[in-house]
Structure 1
Amino acid sequence: MKFFKAALFALFVFIAVSAHAQSSAELKHQREVLTQQLDQLNHEYQETSNNKKTTLKQLNLLKQQIGIREEKINNINSEVRNLDNQISESNNSVRSLQSQLDQLKKEYAAMVLFTYRNQSAYNKLMFIFAAKDFNQAYRRLKYLQQIGTYRERQAKYIQETQGELHVKIGELDKNKKEKSNLLVDQEKEKKTLGEEKNAQVQVVADLSKHEGLLKQQQQDVQKKISRTNREISNAIRREIEEARRKAEEQARAEARAAAARKAAEAKAERAEKADTKEVYIPKIKAITKNSSDREVLNATPEAAKLSSDFLGNKGSLPWPVAAGSIKQGFGIYYDNVGIKNESDGWGIKTNTGASVRAVFQGEVSSIINVLGTWLVVIKHGEYFTAYSNLKSVSVSDGQKVSTKQVIGTVATDSSTGEAIVNFALYKGKVPVNPKIWLVSN
């Protein structure tokens, strides 16, 4: 019974330790990922700090480093707490196993002493023959045999318990050593965090000296964004107006042709039958000034199919760059000086000189220079995609493009050193959130 309880306790301990081990592995993996991110950010920061002129990029990189380093310190705290739990459980296991071992040794010693005192064959025979009847003599014989078997089993239990105890002590020492290393790493991270916060204060102080210049830079950025949004809206409006004009012109031409055919048929019929009955000419549904933008943009079978194909790829469109992260999301946001703004798309941070590509097949609608960088608008039936802040363009106006075809390269901001491509997606004239259209990155 005691052995059963001990085995059950050991099973519970094993399950608990396994759960902690899994959690520890996850925390360790997270710490490794955070360390890699910090190394990359530190590399970028060292590159920017070589420039004697303090920039916003240095401040942004420091903020990112501080945030990630604080997250890493929290991760280490979680690991330490996890190890403390494991150490506590290991200590309890060691104490329990030691108590079991002492009890087993005590019982084994008493059994050995009893066996020693009754080891004489004469005593054993006397014990058997002193029975009242045959059944009692048989039971006494089995009892003596079971004592020998039980003694062997107890010796085996002692060996197994000693082995398990040594394993637990080894795990305990390992966890204590790992905890010690983590605490050293934690102190190192805290020291580095303090240095980074001091550096942040210095960078902010340096930037404050050029507050006017920074505000001007931010105003220039916002001015460029507003100008880009206007150009996109104008390009889409022109595209819709042109599509409407072409559709109306085609509808009028088809109506004239139909009327001419009916008139010819009527004339021939009158000549044949000498009948003066009025001829009915059916009205053809055509694009007019009252037609919706959607009807205009889907006026041709080709445009309607392209719109349908684009919609069919909702949620699986590729990103406009092969590698990047969202710097500015869709919707309302506040800049560094607290001014409320609204983003019609995404600002995607990518590598310097990265290629920008079309997210779907379509036709280049407009190529516009906006304050020194390029804007490319591509038409996909009733949908439009816009790619701005391009340093160069590799397509031409009216050109057909395919999915992932390179249309240009991203420009790098001289004040921040960041390469950001601005991407927007429109259904007609209405901007929509790229998040529900692009594949998860």
Structure 2
Amino acid sequence: MKLNKLLLLVLFVFFGSAVFAQSSSAELKRQKEALQRKIDLLQKNAAKAANNKKLTLTQIRSINTKIGLMQSKISVINSEIKNLDVQIHENTNTVHTLKGQLGQLKKEYANMIRFAQRNRGSYDKMMFIFASSDFNQAYKRIKYLQQFGQYRKKQADYISGKQKDLNYKIVVLDKNLKEKSNLLHEQEDVKNKLGKDKSAQSQVLNKFSKEERTYRQDLEVSRKRQAQLDREIRAAIARDIARDLAIAKKKAEDEQRAAAAKAKAENKPIPVAKVPSSGNYIAPTPESAKLSSGFEGNRGSLPWPVAAGNITERFGVHTVGQAKYTNDGVTIETTENATVRAVFNGKVTRVINSYNRVVILINHGQYYTVYQNLKSASVSVGDNVTTKQAIGVVANSEDTPQMQFQIFRGAAAQNPESWISNR
């Protein structure tokens, strides 16, 4: 009985670990495929921009992003190989165990057959039964012969089953070894490509260093334009906040006057109402409060503003040569003429045209999402939009399709990467 329980426990642990390994392998494969799609997108855009003889900041960011993605892919392949090594080790041990069990079973079965052959002449079945002293003993001998025959058949079937298990595990083990060999070749291929990209990165940075003055001038022009646009965006948000605050103040003052009049009529102390201060942003309606709550509830799972893309520049302060600048959002490199989508339900509050590009602001209660570098908009101010609704088409910047995506809580810029899904 204890042996059976132990066998069941071993089987449970073995099959449980096999299922976990399969699940882990499937997830690693999914991650690797997703990384490869991102790498392919960057490579495709780089090929289109290859005719541009002038080095651009976009090219530098794309190369850096591609190198990071390839390093991530190598890490995923390493995890796949480690996962396979565990499976190979487990399956090798299982094959050895099954071979040992099968050998022991065959040995025991052979002894059983030899015993039956030696005693077949001396103990003829019928004589064995008729030699019984009474009916009860004869019945027991019949049952014994039946059980002995059934046990032999059961052992033969058990041996056959063990042989099938062994053959299956050998096939699985061979498959594991082939998969590992393929992964090692894939890893070597990615490492070779990574080496070439690092060499290209070194050449690009060297060129940038030699011509830094020219690039610094271009960067300064771009930075000033972006700073002007950011000021315009923040001013638009500030006007909305001031408007909502004024509404909230007026509502509080009206409630205060009504409460004072009622208290005076009832000869009671006049209550002191809390009037919103200019330092706070108050959602003036239940609808906008609900929208803010819904937006916050989807933190980390908001959809991307484009169906496919790579973040080539992250949120925060960046340094190029001696120049420093701040990105209030993230720069996303995407596909040619990609559709830009709203990341959450909201209302379009601004459609700004700046330097032949379109910027769209969408309000989500206390939050705003900003979509920059669009060549066209398919929504207008005052339109209500839903999650993933198309709002425009991305434009090219420096021969590369890319957009700027920002999230604000009031006037405070948020890091979009902590809000959108990690795909």
CA gap 1:357/1:235 in 2 versus in 1, 3 angstroms: same
CA contact under 8 A between 2:337 and 2:401: conserved in structure 1? no
Query: Normalised by the size of structure 2, how large is the TM-score?
Result: 0.71
Aligned: 1:335 with 2:319: yes
Partner of 1:161: 162
SS of residue matched to 1:165:
helix
Using the TM superposition, give the Cα deviation of residue 23 of structure 1 relative to its aligned residue in structure 2, in angstroms: 1.0
Using the TM superposition, give the Cα deviation of residue 92 of structure 1 relative to its aligned residue in structure 2, in angstroms: 0.9
CA gap 1:160/1:39 in 2 versus in 1, 3 angstroms: same
State which of 389, 409, 414 in structure 2 corresponds to 1:433. Answer: 414
Distance in 2, matches of 1:379 and 1:145, equals 83
Query: Normalised by the size of structure 1, how large is the TM-score?
Result: 0.68
Q: Output aligned runs, 1:135-174, within 5 Å.
A: 142-174=143-175
CA gap 1:117/1:200 in 2 versus in 1, 3 angstroms: same
Identity between Structure 1 and Structure 2 (%): 40
State which of 388, 400, 405 in structure 2 corresponds to 1:417. Answer: 400
Partner of 1:218: 219
Distance in 2, matches of 1:185 and 1:162, equals 35
Partner of 2:187: 186
CA contact under 8 A between 1:59 and 1:200: conserved in structure 2? yes
CA gap 1:76/1:104 in 2 versus in 1, 3 angstroms: same
Distance in 1, matches of 2:97 and 2:245, equals 86
Letter in 1 for 2:414: N
Q: Output aligned runs, 1:249-328, within 5 Å.
A: 309-314=287-292, 323=307
Letter in 2 for 1:314: S
What do residues 348-402 of structure 1 show as CA deviations (whole Å, max 9, x unaligned)? 55555567788744665x9575x66566778999998766556568999xx6544
CA contact under 8 A between 1:394 and 1:407: conserved in structure 2? yes
Highest Rg: 1 or 2?
Answer: 1
Q: Output aligned runs, 1:32-431, within 5 Å.
A: 32-120=33-121, 122=123, 142-232=143-233, 309-314=287-292, 323=307, 332-337=316-321, 341-343=325-327, 360-361=346-347, 369=354, 389=373, 400-403=382-385, 411-414=395-398, 417-421=400-404, 423=406, 425=408, 427=410, 430-431=411-412
Partner of 1:248: none
Using the TM superposition, give the Cα deviation of residue 220 of structure 1 relative to its aligned residue in structure 2, in angstroms: 1.8
Letter in 2 for 1:417: T
| Structure 2 gap segments, 5+ residues each | 247-274, 296-301
CA contact under 8 A between 2:333 and 2:400: conserved in structure 1? no
CA contact under 8 A between 1:347 and 1:421: conserved in structure 2? yes
CA gap 1:243/1:33 in 2 versus in 1, 3 angstroms: closer
Moved more, 50-59 or 171-180: 50-59
SS of residue matched to 1:334:
strand
Letter in 1 for 2:317: Y
CA contact under 8 A between 2:376 and 2:393: conserved in structure 1? yes
| Structure 1 gap segments, 5+ residues each | 246-289
Aligned pairs, how many? 385
CA gap 1:150/1:340 in 2 versus in 1, 3 angstroms: same
SS of residue matched to 1:314:
helix
CA gap 1:104/1:437 in 2 versus in 1, 3 angstroms: closer
Distance in 1, matches of 2:69 and 2:418, equals 29
What do residues 265-312 of structure 1 show as CA deviations (whole Å, max 9, x unaligned)? xxxxxxxxxxxxxxxxxxxxxxxxx996699x99xxxx966xx54443
Partner of 2:257: none
CA gap 1:145/1:6 in 2 versus in 1, 3 angstroms: same
Letter in 2 for 1:207: F
Distance in 2, matches of 1:426 and 1:401, equals 21
Letter in 2 for 1:154: Q
CA contact under 8 A between 1:315 and 1:438: conserved in structure 2? no
SS of residue matched to 1:212:
helix
